[in-house]
């Protein structure tokens, strides 16, 4: 296999040898990818909400709003990150079963999963997940509804900003709306392998 | 008349398939145009800069490859190299066998289609399940994808419903929502039972060693949340210099492919899961695959290695729209395929030398390419290569005699005047293939050879003499006329 | 890809490259080109030994054959006057294609020099001579087809600017205008099924716009679309834009 390594690298060198000059790396300004219609003087959470709605995500504020939405959908059995549960527990009435450990042998038991976001991107309506902030990758992904809990201070204004401040984490996910496909005749269907409902919950 | 293979394929294509391909392509093109032009002041400038960045990487792979390897290893990733498709497949199998792994779930990656990994693994007793919905449907059908991004663009809901019923996924139901739900339920079990997750990578940052995966369905996330070992198969050309360049390329990729600002999931992966995380791979491997890419690098068409597999060129291509992806007989169809496939074929080039000819050289592909690949120029170079390799070209009029004619003015002028006889001949009966191919669908205009020259001779004045026609210097001054 | 900055013409002499298509089929387009250029004050020289720009063999992959013809063209158009050609595709051959196929040739510089002074007609009138409006009259509803070889150049804009300025002329848009008509040179006879289908699609869109005439800067596209429409018994009138310019002058008693 290291023979393959040498073979490949020597072929690469051989292929590039005849070039008199190598193409240089251009410098580019952030202005290049500045999205024009989006800004004005809105605060990040306001912009984030607007952009998230465009991709069919659901931004909510406060635990009571979340509970009302879950009740409306009749989703009463779910999972919550144990570090978050103390902040949310009081808003949940009886009749809810919320587990704080995720049992992967019973994935279909969980109708919703609540985990922490590590950040967000306002201009795209994107939530950011990391291994460090996500108590269980499966819990954030397998239930039909995923709720990512967000703090105002975590919201980046734009993609450029977010990408140059990626955390030192092995698995960072930029999540923009519920999972979807258009493989069948180009028709948009939500909720494929990931959640069919993606919520961003702002908790102060 | 003998037609070129791709032309014949187009002529025989079922109208419903052709309509599905046309509509799907046009939707993609329109969506791309809208988001790029709505969102950015100068979208073409983005493509030009992105093209320069990728060209820089291509021309400096000798530096970037070792750099990325070192970064990956420092991040705890095990790096492998595979010079050929066989080596790549074997590397995957070796990793699985070493862990006694029997089940794989696979996220969409074109490299694995190139190497036919799925078939290889099945032959060697490993279950390999495609998890991307389109690829899953292709897999159960024993079919081949016909588009880079939309693998079943050629199928309609009825085709899929029939397949699902045939493969025990439920009684006939062609509602797209139901189809998707059924796939979701079926594949959930597969993810959770899998030992190994296989993905590709859309980009690798040389600065941080991050792999970037761009998906909509959540299948790669599920693969990487459930399985214990992650293997990424990556073409050697997928590198980007800096993390910040990701911002530019990510802004271009989804918009070019589907008109989305970003796909639903963009994953940045540097290594196996963190210690505190209960779910995910404990081990991560990257296999750098050559499989002909160094041949492309050595050719005069190395710009094609900039390709980020967005499919925009397919969506806009009038030939792709008429013929569909399967006409190209390869993993990579459309304009990008017409360049990449013959080159990746190496010694087998002649078998694919017709692909670069299936183009009117309209240039629409270059116009939409997020990395500004001069595809028409590359197609022309490959036509030259084909001629030099003496690959025959059905239907092509012989150029040698034409060149002789066109470099001897006296003969040319005589032919112009003599050609008038064609106006009186039953051209349909003439044994000239090009003429017949033309007249099969079009009428020929009247031959007027020699008429212009005769008129011009009658009008000509000695050079340098003042122009005495009515609109000359003594005539009305035209606004803005600088002469 | 095709945008090239040419030096502004400094005199009134131009050389006309009539194109092999006009030589064989469209004598009136070549005539109109001469009449219009002379009206604009140019002295038009027609080097008689010209034949073809070499594009058919270039596109067909026979670069040896093509180079032979290009070399003949370089000789024919010796000098330094602007070379004006009523065809986007022939012009693009001179300033892009020929340079590509001569990359490794010892006479690349000569080919480049010729390309550097070659102008597509519309581009020459508007950007070379600085004409922004056109006098006279031409009563018509015009569908303008911008040929693919003028992608990335200023030719399409130039022609539509002139046409839309003519009294009596209305330009109508039509669907999928960016899609190729299907001619593509030898493509039209090597891939006739696809070529025909592409042309039929375009004719569909054009007909929906209901123009009285289809106009372009390339007779190759017109030969293909016109030929298709005639064969199916629903002929559509086609004109090179220079014929419209000339006719506008005639109608205005300026020629």
In a domain, A26, yes or no: no
In a domain, B344, yes or no: no
Greater confidence (B1 vs B263) lies with: B263
Whether residue B184 contacts residue B164, with contact meaning beta carbons closer than 8 Å, is answered with no
pLDDT of amino acid A41: 74
Residues of chain C contacting B376 with CB distance shorter than 8 Å: 1
Comparing B11-20, B393-402, C80-89, which segment has the lowest mean pLDDT? B393-402
Tell if the CB–CB gap between B41 and A36 is shorter than 8 Å.
yes
Tell if the CB–CB gap between C65 and B478 is shorter than 8 Å.
no
Q: pLDDT above 70 covers what percent of chain B? A: 95
pLDDT of amino acid C4: 58
Domain boundary among B243, B270, B295: B295
* Candidates B399, B437, B453; nearest CB to C56: B399
pLDDT greater than 50 at residue B308: yes
pLDDT of amino acid B470: 32
CA dist., res. B220 & res. B238, Å (int): 18
In a domain, A93, yes or no: yes
Residues of chain B contacting C41 with CB distance shorter than 8 Å: 467, 471-473, 475, 481, 483
pLDDT greater than 90 at residue B461: no
pLDDT greater than 60 at residue A59: yes
Tell if the CB–CB gap between C195 and B360 is shorter than 8 Å.
yes
pLDDT of amino acid B81: 98
Which tokens is C122 given?
């519309």
Three-class SS of chain C = CCCCCCCCCCCCEEEECCCHHHHHCCHHHHHHHHHHHHHCCCEEECCCCCCCCCHHHHHHCCHHHHHHHHHHHHHHCCCCCCEEECCHHHHHHHHHHHHHHCCCCCCHHHHHHHHHCEEEHHHHHHHHCCCCCCCCEEEEEEEEECCHHHCCCCHHHHHHHHHHCCEEEEECCCCCCCCCCCCCCCHHHHCHHHHHHHHHHHHHHHHHHCCCEEEECCHHHHHHHHHHHHHCCCCCCEEEHHHHHHHHHHHCCCC
Nearest-by-CA chain B residue for A19: B59
B5: Cα separation from own chain's centroid? 19
Asked if B422 reaches chain C (Cβ–Cβ under 8 Å), the answer is no
Tell if the CB–CB gap between C191 and B357 is shorter than 8 Å.
yes
In a domain, A45, yes or no: yes
Q: Are residues C75 and C145 in the same domain?
A: no
Domain boundary among B229, B260, B295: B295
In a domain, C1, yes or no: no
Which of the other chains make 3 or more beta carbon contacts under 8 angstroms with chain B? Answer: A, C
Greater confidence (B136 vs A42) lies with: B136
Nearest-by-CA chain C residue for B455: C31
Number of structural domains chain B divides into:
2
In a domain, A110, yes or no: yes
For residue B430, what are the CA distances in angstroms to A25, B426, B433, B434, C12?
57, 7, 8, 10, 46
Domain boundary among C84, C110, C127: C127
Residues of chain B contacting C65 with CB distance shorter than 8 Å: 399-400, 402-403
Which one, of C181, C168, C163, C247, lies nearest residue C219 by Cα? C181
Q: Are residues C82 and C107 in the same domain?
A: yes
In a domain, B394, yes or no: no
Cα pseudo-dihedral A57, A58, A63, A65, rounded to 10: -160
Tell if the CB–CB gap between B27 and A186 is shorter than 8 Å.
yes
Domain extent for A131: 41-202
In a domain, B327, yes or no: no
pLDDT of amino acid B483: 32
At B432, the pLDDT band (50, 70, 90 cuts) reads: confident
pLDDT greater than 50 at residue B465: no
In a domain, B339, yes or no: no
Q: Are residues C102 and C140 in the same domain?
A: no
pLDDT of amino acid A37: 64
Q: Are residues C18 and C65 in the same domain?
A: yes
Please tell me the number of Cα atoms within 13 Å of B459 on its side-chain side. 19
In a domain, B468, yes or no: no
Mean pLDDT of B97-103: 96
Q: Are residues B99 and B248 in the same domain?
A: yes
pLDDT of amino acid A27: 93
In a domain, B338, yes or no: no
pLDDT of amino acid B113: 93
Q: How far is B149 from chain C (nearest CA, A)?
A: 21
Within the 449-478 window of chain B, which residues sit less than 8 Å (CB to CB) from chain C? Answer: 449, 451-453, 455-456, 459-460, 463-464, 467, 469-473, 475-476, 478
In a domain, B314, yes or no: no
pLDDT of amino acid C2: 53
pLDDT of amino acid C3: 52
Q: Are residues C90 and C114 in the same domain?
A: yes
In a domain, A25, yes or no: no
Nearest-by-CA chain B residue for C11: B483
Tell if the CB–CB gap between C182 and B318 is shorter than 8 Å.
yes
pLDDT of amino acid A1: 57
pLDDT of amino acid A135: 98
Which CATH number does the domain housing residue A193 bear?
3.40.50.10420
Within the 300-319 window of chain B, which residues sit less than 8 Å (CB to CB) from chain C? Answer: 316, 318-319
In a domain, A70, yes or no: yes
pLDDT of amino acid B426: 84
Domain extent for B55: 5-295
Q: How far is A52 from chain B (nearest CA, A)?
A: 11
Which CATH number does the domain housing residue C183 bear?
3.40.50
* Candidates B360, B409, B442; nearest CB to C231: B442
Q: How far is B174 from chain A (nearest CA, A)?
A: 10
ipTM exceeding cut-off 0.90 for this assembly: yes
At B425, the pLDDT band (50, 70, 90 cuts) reads: confident
Which CATH number does the domain housing residue B220 bear?
3.40.50.10420
Model confidence over A79-103: pLDDT tens digits?
999 999 999 999 999 999 999 999 9
For residue C249, what are the CA distances in angstroms to B199, C166, C253?
66, 10, 6
Give φ, ψ of B286 to 5 degrees: -120, 130
C and A touching (3 or more beta-carbon pairs closer than 8 Å): no
Tell if the CB–CB gap between B62 and A11 is shorter than 8 Å.
no
Mean pLDDT of B27-52: 95
Residues of chain B contacting C230 with CB distance shorter than 8 Å: 442-443
Residues of chain B contacting C34 with CB distance shorter than 8 Å: 456, 459
pLDDT of amino acid B3: 81
C83 burial level (CB within 10 Å; 0-12, 13-18, 19+): buried
Asked if B421 reaches chain C (Cβ–Cβ under 8 Å), the answer is no
Which tokens is A16 given?
């590039």
pLDDT greater than 90 at residue A67: yes
pLDDT of amino acid B1: 67
Q: How far is B214 from chain C (nearest CA, A)?
A: 29
pLDDT greater than 70 at residue B473: no
Q: Are residues C216 and C236 in the same domain?
A: yes
Model confidence over B382-394: pLDDT tens digits?
999 999 999 988 8
Asked if B178 reaches chain A (Cβ–Cβ under 8 Å), the answer is no
Number of structural domains chain C divides into:
2
Residues of chain B contacting C38 with CB distance shorter than 8 Å: 467, 469, 471-472
Please, which residues have CB within 8 angstroms of residue A94's CB and are 6 or more apart in sequence?
A: none
At B476, the pLDDT band (50, 70, 90 cuts) reads: very low
* Candidates A24, A178, A183; nearest CB to B150: A183
Within the 60-79 window of chain B, which residues sit less than 8 Å (CB to CB) from chain C? Answer: none
Q: Are residues B105 and B232 in the same domain?
A: yes
In a domain, B27, yes or no: yes
pLDDT greater than 50 at residue B479: no
Domain boundary among C112, C127, C142: C127
In a domain, A182, yes or no: yes
* Weakly modelled stretches of chain C, pLDDT under 70: 1-10
Number of structural domains chain A divides into:
1
Tell if the CB–CB gap between A15 and B297 is shorter than 8 Å.
yes
Greater confidence (B319 vs A186) lies with: B319
Q: What is the DSSP string of A157-204?
A: SSHHHHHTT--S-SEEEEE-SS-EE-TTTT--EE-SSS-SEEEEEE--
Q: Enter the pTM of the model.
A: 0.94
Q: Are residues B280 and B407 in the same domain?
A: no
Domain extent for C91: 13-127
Residues of chain B contacting A160 with CB distance shorter than 8 Å: 244, 247
For residue C237, what are the CA distances in angstroms to B240, B447, C140, C155, C169?
52, 18, 11, 22, 15
Mean pLDDT of B389-401: 87
CA dist., res. C225 & res. C246, Å (int): 22
**Which of A3, A193, A196 to mutate to test binding with chain B, by most B CBs within 10 Å of its CB?**
A193
Whether residue B398 contacts residue B435, with contact meaning beta carbons closer than 8 Å, is answered with no
Tell if the CB–CB gap between C192 and B441 is shorter than 8 Å.
yes
In a domain, C243, yes or no: yes
pLDDT greater than 50 at residue B469: no
CA dist., res. A53 & res. A49, Å (int): 6
Model confidence over A141-168: pLDDT tens digits?
999 999 999 999 999 998 888 998 999 9
Tell if the CB–CB gap between B446 and C25 is shorter than 8 Å.
yes
Q: How far is C38 from chain B (nearest CA, A)?
A: 7
**Which of C7, C32, C51 to mutate to test binding with chain B, by most B CBs within 10 Å of its CB?**
C51
pLDDT greater than 80 at residue A38: no
């Amino acid at each position: 296999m290291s023979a393959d390594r040498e073979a490949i690298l020597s072929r690469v060198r051989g292929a590039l040898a005849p070039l008199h000059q190598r193409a240089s790396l251009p410098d580019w300004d952030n202005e290049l990818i500045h999205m024009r219609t989006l800004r004005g003087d809105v605060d990040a959470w306001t912009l984030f909400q607007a952009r998230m709605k465009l991709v069919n995500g659901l931004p909510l504020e406060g635990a009571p709003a979340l509970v009302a939405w879950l009740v409306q959908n009749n989703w009463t059995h779910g999972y919550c990150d144990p570090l978050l549960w103390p902040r949310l527990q009081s808003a949940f009435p009886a009749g809810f079963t919320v587990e704080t450990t995720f049992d992967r042998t019973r994935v279909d038991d969980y109708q919703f999963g609540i985990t922490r976001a590590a950040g967000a991107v306002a201009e795209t309506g994107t939530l950011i997940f990391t291994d460090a902030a996500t108590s269980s990758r499966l819990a954030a992904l397998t239930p039909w509804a995923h709720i990512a809990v967000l703090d105002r201070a975590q919201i980046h204004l734009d993609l450029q900003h977010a990408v140059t401040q990626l955390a030192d984490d092995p698995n960072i996910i930029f999540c923009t709306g519920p999972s979807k496909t258009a493989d069948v005749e180009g028709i948009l269907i939500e909720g494929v392998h990931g959640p069919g409902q993606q919520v961003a919950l702002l908790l102060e | 008349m003998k037609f070129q293979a791709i032309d014949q394929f187009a002529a025989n294509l079922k109208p419903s398939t052709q309509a599905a391909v046309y509509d799907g392509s046009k939707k993609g093109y329109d969506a791309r145009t809208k988001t790029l032009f709505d969102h950015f002041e100068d979208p073409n400038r983005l493509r030009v800069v992105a093209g320069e960045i990728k060209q820089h990487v291509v021309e400096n792979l000798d530096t970037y490859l070792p750099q990325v390897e070192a970064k990956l290893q420092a991040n705890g990733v095990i790096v492998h190299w595979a010079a050929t498709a066989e080596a790549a497949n074997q590397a995957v199998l070796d990793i699985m066998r070493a862990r006694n792994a029997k089940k794989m779930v696979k996220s969409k990656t074109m490299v694995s289609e190139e190497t036919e990994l799925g078939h290889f693994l099945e032959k060697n007793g490993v279950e390999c399940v495609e998890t991307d919905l389109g690829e899953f449907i292709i897999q159960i059908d024993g079919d081949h994808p016909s588009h880079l991004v939309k693998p079943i663009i050629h199928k309609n809901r009825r085709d899929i419903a029939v397949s699902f019923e045939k493969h025990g996924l439920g009684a006939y139901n062609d509602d797209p929502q139901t189809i998707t739900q059924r796939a979701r339920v079926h594949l959930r079990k597969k993810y959770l039972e899998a030992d190994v997750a296989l993905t590709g990578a859309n980009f690798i940052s040389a600065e941080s060693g991050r792999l970037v995966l761009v998906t909509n369905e959540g299948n790669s996330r599920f693969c990487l949340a459930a399985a214990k070992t992650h293997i990424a198969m990556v073409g050697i050309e997928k590198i980007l210099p800096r993390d910040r360049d990701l911002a530019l390329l990510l802004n271009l990729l989804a918009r070019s492919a589907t008109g989305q600002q970003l796909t639903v999931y963009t994953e940045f992966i540097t290594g196996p899961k963190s210690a505190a995380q209960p779910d995910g791979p404990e081990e991560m491997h990257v296999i750098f695959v050559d499989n002909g890419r160094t041949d492309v690098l050595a050719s005069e068409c190395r710009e094609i290695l900039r390709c980020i597999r967005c499919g925009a060129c397919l969506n806009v291509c009038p030939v792709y729209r008429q013929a569909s992806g399967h006409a190209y007989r390869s993993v990579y169809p459309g304009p990008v395929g017409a360049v990449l496939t013959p080159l990746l074929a190496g010694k087998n080039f002649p078998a694919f030398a017709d692909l670069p000819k299936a183009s009117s050289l309209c240039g629409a592909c270059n116009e939409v390419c997020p990395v500004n690949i001069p595809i028409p120029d590359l197609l022309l170079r490959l036509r030259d290569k084909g001629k030099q390799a003496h690959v025959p070209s059905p239907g092509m009029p012989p150029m040698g005699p034409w060149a002789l004619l066109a470099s001897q003015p006296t003969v040319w002028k005589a032919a112009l005047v003599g050609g008038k006889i064609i106006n009186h001949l039953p051209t349909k009966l003439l044994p000239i293939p090009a003429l017949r191919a033309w007249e099969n669908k079009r009428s020929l205009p009247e031959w007027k050879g020699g008429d212009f020259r005769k008129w011009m001779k009658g009008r000509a004045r000695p050079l340098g003499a003042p122009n005495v026609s009515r609109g000359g210097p003594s005539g009305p001054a035209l606004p803005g006329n600088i002469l | 890809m095709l945008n090239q900055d040419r030096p502004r013409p400094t005199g009134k002499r131009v050389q006309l490259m009539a194109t092999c298509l006009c030589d064989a089929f469209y004598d009136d387009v070549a005539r109109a080109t001469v009449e219009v250029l002379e009206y604009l004050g140019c002295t038009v020289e027609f080097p008689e030994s010209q034949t073809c720009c070499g594009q058919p063999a270039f596109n067909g992959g026979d670069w040896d054959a093509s180079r032979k013809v290009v070399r003949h063209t370089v000789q024919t158009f010796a000098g330094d006057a602007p070379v004006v050609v009523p065809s986007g595709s022939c012009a693009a051959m001179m300033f892009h294609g020929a340079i590509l196929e001569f990359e490794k040739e010892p006479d690349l510089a000569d080919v480049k020099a010729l390309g550097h002074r070659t102008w597509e007609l519309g581009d020459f009138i508007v950007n070379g001579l600085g004409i922004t409006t056109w006098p006279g009259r031409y009563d018509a509803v015009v569908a303008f087809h911008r040929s693919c070889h003028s992608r990335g150049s200023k030719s399409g804009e130039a022609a539509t600017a002139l046409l839309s300025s003519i009294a009596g002329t209305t330009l109508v848009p039509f669907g999928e205008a960016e899609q190729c008509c299907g001619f593509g040179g030898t493509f039209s006879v090597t891939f006739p099924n696809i070529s025909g289908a592409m042309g039929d699609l375009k004719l569909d869109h054009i007909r929906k716009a209901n123009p009285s005439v289809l106009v372009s800067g390339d007779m190759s596209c017109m030969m293909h679309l016109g030929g298709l429409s005639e064969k199916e018994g629903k002929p559509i009138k086609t004109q090179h834009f220079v014929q419209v310019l000339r006719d506008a002058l005639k109608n205005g008693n300026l020629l």
